[in-house]
Amino acid sequence: AQLRAAVERFERLKSAAAAAQARATALWAAKRADAEAAAGRPAGKRGKGLASEVALARQDAPVKGNQHLGFAKALVHEMPYTMA
């Protein structure tokens, strides 16, 4: 019973960390877009390279960055009630 409770606690901790990571990623994207807009960067070029930076921060393959970024934005902006 003790080990089961420990596993449950770790799972809740993992979920909370994933939610915080998604929020931070979405905020990073929003702040980057705002800064680039303020600097006069064309809309089509804003956020370029951010997905690679996200992958690097997550210690994942560069090709996974866009997936992580898109998922974070979807969770935060379209499905916020799915996060604890």
Q: How many structural domains does the chain have?
A: 1
Q: What is the pLDDT of residue 69?
A: 97
Q: H or E segment at 37?
A: helix 2-38
pLDDT, tens only, 29-66? 999 999 999 999 999 999 999 999 999 999 999 999 99
What crossing angle do the helices spanning 50-57 and 2-38 adopt, rounded to 10°?
Answer: 150
**The model's pTM:** 0.88
Other CB atoms within 10 Å distance of the CB of residue 77 = 10
Range of the domain at 40: 2-82
**pLDDT grade, residue 84 (50/70/90)?**
low
> Considering the chain, what percentage of its residues have pLDDT values greater than 90?
96
